[in-house]
């Protein structure tokens, strides 16, 4: 800047570093460090097994000029994979207007993608070469592309018109949507309340899902036994003894007698009736002795009645007094107080060893 420096023994020093700083540390070798983004996915062959580096991953690459394509330079970008430390070199291809992997990896192959309806046409190398050599093929291709572009434009216009027609009145559309949601919301709230009630009633610690028609059909096919079991079956099961008796063990024996002779059908039927009668007597005796079983009242109706236990006084009710008074008048002994006979329990036919 035209500044004056007086003569001295130590000449002044100036900053002679490159404006790009550390990025230009290898500039004398023709290498410049730049930020490079992968244009496609690359398989790193230095990794074992091979690792895939996704498209768009950025690296600090060493950019270097390696050749010329006519008047266009060919650039090489050398990047280092951080996972394995291997180097991958990617170069530009001006002839095909794309990038190629030179070494250290390979480009991911996506296969041949078919062009769907409404998508832009992607020309392959053969089609481009054919159109370049044949003018009629190039003209036909341009006509087909123009026709497809026209159809796509018409389709987009139809969609826009349909959207404008449907949302011409946003208030009416919103009202219609909210009206349907209100009805559905009440149903959902009712179902949710029913589920919460079931969870609270049965103490469930998990969420109850919605009912499915298939589950309802399968649940209807499940059988839980016969329906309408009466009190007689329950009483008959309660009257059975807890342990099997010696007389019942004989049922498991064969149809022959003790002496090995076969019994006739009449004899077996008689023995079966005899055992059934004994079993019924034992059950009735146990029912009379057990104060926790139910029995039939005198008129035949089912119900629980008080047991007559020896040594225990019972409270006299109005019905009992009326019955006792009628009995006294019928016998003609009105002047004598009615005597209360002692009620003794029937003797059990089966003895138990328990205390």
CA dihedral 343, 346, 347, 350 (to 10 degrees): -140
Domain shared by 143 and 194, yes or no: no
Domain presence at residue 28: yes
Stated as kind and residue range, the H or E segment containing 326 is: helix 318-331
* pLDDT, tens digit (0-9, with 9 covering 90-100), for 216-237: 888 888 877 554 555 666 666 6
Answer whether residue 328 is part of any domain.
no
* Same domain as 102, residue 50: yes
Residues 162 and 175 in one domain: no
Residue 337 maps to a domain: no
In a domain, 222, yes or no: no
| Residue 349 burial (C-beta neighbours within 10 Å; 0-12, 13-18, 19+) | exposed
Please give the pLDDT value at position 7: 77
**Per-residue model confidence (pLDDT) at position 174:** 87
Residue 29 shares a structural domain with residue 95: yes
Q: Which residue has the tokens 């002795």?
A: 289
Please report the pLDDT score of residue 110 as a whole number.
Answer: 78
101 and 35 within one domain: yes
- Report yes or no on 347 lying in a domain: no
Q: Check if the beta carbon of residue 277 is closer than 8 Å to that of residue 308.
A: no
User: What is the model's pTM?
Assistant: 0.34
Any domain includes 159: yes
> Are 103 and 27 contained in the same domain?
yes
SS3 295: strand
Residues 284, 350: Cα–Cα separation, whole Å:
11
Name residues of the chain where pLDDT drops below 70: 1-2, 9, 11-12, 14-15, 111-122, 225-260, 287, 289-355
**Residue 258 maps to a domain:** no
First-to-last CA distance in the chain? 126
Looking at residue 100, its pLDDT comes to: 95
**Which residue from 114, 123, 121, 116 is spatially nearest to 149, judged by alpha carbons?**
121
| Total of domains in the chain | 4
**pLDDT tens digits along 32-49:** 999 999 999 999 999 988
pLDDT (0 to 100) of residue 21: 84
Q: State the pLDDT at residue 322.
A: 56
Q: Answer yes or no: is 31 within a domain.
A: yes
| Domain co-membership, 157 together with 200 | no
CA 146 to chain centre: 51
- Residue 140 shares a structural domain with residue 204: no
The residue range of the domain holding 43 is 23-107
**Distance of alpha carbon 229 from alpha carbon 240, whole angstroms:** 17
Based on the fold, state whether residues 32 and 80 are members of the same structural domain: yes
Residue tagged 């130590």 (tokens): 10
């Amino acid at each position: 800047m035209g500044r004056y420096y007086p003569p001295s023994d130590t000449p002044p020093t100036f900053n002679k570093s490159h404006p790009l700083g550390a990025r230009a540390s290898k500039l004398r070798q023709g290498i410049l460090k730049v930020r490079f983004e992968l244009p496609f996915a690359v398989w790193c062959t230095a990794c074992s097994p091979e690792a895939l580096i996704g498209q768009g991953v950025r690296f600090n690459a060493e950019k270097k000029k390696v050749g010329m394509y006519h008047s266009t330079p060919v650039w090489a970008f050398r990047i280092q994979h951080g996972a394995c430390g291997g180097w991958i070199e990617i170069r530009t291809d001006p002839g095909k207007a794309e990038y190629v992997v030179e070494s250290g990896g390979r480009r991911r192959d996506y296969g041949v993608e078919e062009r769907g309806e409404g998508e832009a046409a992607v020309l392959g190398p053969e089609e481009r070469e054919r159109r370049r050599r044949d003018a009629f093929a190039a003209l036909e291709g341009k006509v087909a592309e123009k026709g497809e572009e026209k159809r796509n434009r018409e389709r987009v216009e139809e969609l826009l018109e349909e959207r404008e027609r449907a949302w011409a009145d946003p208030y009416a559309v919103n009202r219609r949507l909210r009206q349907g949601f209100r009805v559905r919301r009440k149903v959902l709230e009712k179902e949710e309340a029913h589920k919460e009630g079931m969870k609270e009633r049965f103490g469930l610690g998990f969420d109850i899902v919605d009912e499915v028609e298939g589950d309802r059909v399968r649940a209807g096919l499940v059988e839980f036994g016969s329906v309408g079991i009466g009190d007689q079956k329950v009483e008959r099961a309660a009257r059975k003894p807890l342990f099997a008796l010696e007389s019942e063990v004989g049922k498991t024996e064969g149809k022959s007698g003790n002496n090995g002779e076969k019994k006739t059908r009449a004899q077996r039927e008689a023995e079966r009736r005899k055992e059934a009668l004994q079993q019924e007597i034992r059950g009735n005796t146990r029912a009379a002795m057990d104060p926790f079983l139910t029995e039939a009242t005198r008129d035949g109706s089912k119900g629980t009645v008080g047991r007559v236990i020896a040594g225990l006084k019972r409270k006299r009710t109005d019905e009992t007094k009326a019955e006792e008074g009628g009995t006294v008048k019928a016998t003609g002994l009105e002047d004598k107080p009615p005597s209360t006979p002692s009620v003794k329990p029937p003797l059990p036919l089966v003895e138990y060893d328990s205390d």
